[in-house]
Chain A
């Protein structure tokens, strides 16, 4: 028996709903009390518009914002905190790069490379950039178990490749991409590496200096922070050479009648009054994760993932997608023969089990897997073995409801933890 410690008690929503089995953390995570407290404390003691007032309270708010940036930068091992730009989240971060960098650096005949794993947020902006700039758009296909095929990537990248955009961890399958190999291939032709870190930032140790990538985007709400705060980490030289993304207050240096000069990093990319409360709460969220330790977070989720793969995989008629537990994050995507994922989610919901059903904003991937929807269970620090039990028992009730008490489709062997093709 593996012992899995639960941190459920740290999460007020889960404490108030003891029967709830929240298995949708890949979509968004529940919030620990320390984050909610930190946000409230900030609004009750230090709130004003940062950067603008000539009074002590505004100075205090500015300092809170600055400290939040330093704290979040440290969480990612980033030495130069000014290279962390606060955004609304991954989507805004990736659009920032595709627009501000892309529109000025991608030319007709250039190539943009993405993978079959991508969330729409790291797919559509590049596809549209390619269309707008007359560049080629290449999609790197996957291995049968749902990993980026590094050999295919090597062939897809040419001296005309300007950017390789890739998910560190797939939200639909949980696949972990070996960024070192991707970066080496991109480097060899001088292409930028843009990483969608939405699913890695909350679930594993990320050392940005060691990763050696050019951009890394993440969302606070998947890490226990509120919605509306996230970030983009970029290389200083590239950020400095880029034009701003949005224009307005805070991001300027001098506004003349004809010309304007830009503020220094990170302010150049943070037009308008920033989400200070969100940044303060995000800093509290990364402190919370650090107090557990990201290695422990990963170990905990890996244990639950392996458990879920084994137990769901043992049920007849259940198909699992994605690689084995060592090469994936805490995400288990599956289908049940004869039961649509949407029906499954409704039935699980009746037993308090929250799973996502659908295409997970990854239609190009699901098309390739040959399914229109999967059910997806995903784990975080507050989950435990009881959640896996509830999931498995819910799937069995769904099978009973749809196919009667006898076991479904006799002769359908339990599938290994791989994609169906």
Chain B
């Protein structure tokens, strides 16, 4: 049960129950959709860029607790960051959820808060759930409306 408690920490369950920045963003400058056809997870991310910076970000999604909490935590972590900083954060995040690097302590800024998802590293089949929103965010900033998921292809 301890791996599960690690995976479904109270932060995750809280963001799943009460996702932050949830709903379309009226004055968005870009949006993108991510889908994981294998499990039916879907997420749409809206961003409002001001110059190089993410001024606001919202999402809507259906899916498991991991994908929803990850999207919600992401929206709280990237506001005010530049596109380049978002890319760095996304890379760090992927490294943590795939277990390539240890999770930073919670006090460690944006990455510290995202580390609540580090329990995913024990559940390789759930990594895609955690990274889905990040793919969509990347596409929304880049202005590509359909993010898909690179490593999930057709439905079984």
Interface residues of A, Cβ cutoff 8 Å to B = 120, 338-343, 346-347, 350, 357-359, 361, 363, 372-373, 397, 401-402
Q: Given contacts A341-B64, A342-B63, A402-B65, could you give 8 more A-B pairs where the C-beta distance is less than 8 Å?
A: A339-B65, A342-B39, A343-B66, A359-B155, A361-B155, A361-B156, A363-B155, A401-B1
Of the four ranges (under 10, 10 to 19, 20 to 34, 35 or more), the interface on chain B belongs to 20 to 34
The reply to whether A357 and B66 contact each other, CB–CB distance below 8 Å, is no
Residues of B within 8 A of A347 (CB): 4, 8
Query: Which residues of the partner chain B approach A372 to less than 8 Å between Cβ atoms?
Result: 40, 42, 62-63
Per-residue CB contact flags for chain B residues 127-151 toward chain A (1 = under 8 Å, else 0) read 0010000000000000000000000
Within 8 A of A (CB), among B54-98: 62-66
Q: Are A343 and B64 within 8 A (Cβ)?
A: yes
User: Which 10 pairs across A and B sit closest by C-beta, in order of nearness?
Assistant: A342-B64, A340-B64, A372-B40, A342-B39, A343-B64, A343-B65, A373-B40, A372-B62, A358-B39, A350-B4
B155 touches A346 (CB 8 A): no
Among candidates B8, B41, B62, B125, residue contacting A401 with C-beta atoms closer than 8 Å: B8
Chain A residue at minimum C-beta to C-beta distance from B66:
A343
Q: 25 A–B contact pairs at CB < 8 A?
A: A338-B17, A339-B65, A341-B64, A342-B39, A342-B41, A342-B63, A342-B64, A342-B66, A343-B64, A343-B66, A346-B4, A346-B123, A346-B125, A346-B126, A347-B8, A350-B1, A350-B3, A350-B4, A357-B39, A358-B40, A359-B40, A363-B155, A373-B40, A401-B1, A402-B65
Asked whether A401 and B64 contact (CB < 8 A) given A342-B39, A346-B123, A373-B40, the answer is no
Chain B interface (Cβ < 8 Å from any Cβ of A): 1, 3-5, 7-8, 13, 17, 38-42, 62-66, 123, 125-126, 129, 155-156
Shortest distance in angstroms between B120's beta carbon and chain A's nearest beta carbon? 10
A402 near B8 with CB under 8 A, answer: yes
Min C-beta distance of A333 to chain B, whole Å? 14
Chain B residues with CB under 8 A of A338: 17
B66 near A401 (CB under 8 angstroms)? no
Among B4, B5, B38, B129, find the residue whose CB has the most chain A CB atoms closer than 10 A: B4
Q: Which residue of A lies closest to B63 (CB)?
A: A340
Complex Cα distance A178/B108, Å? Answer: 62
The interface residues of chain A lying within 8 Å CB-to-CB of B63 are: 340, 342, 372
Query: Shortest distance in angstroms between B71's beta carbon and chain A's nearest beta carbon?
Result: 13
Query: A373: which B residues are within 8 A, CB to CB?
Result: 39-40
Residue of B nearest to A359 (CB): B40
CB A408 to nearest CB in B, in angstroms, measures 12
**B1: min CB distance to chain A, Å:** 7
Q: Which residues of B contact A363 (CB under 8 A)?
A: 155
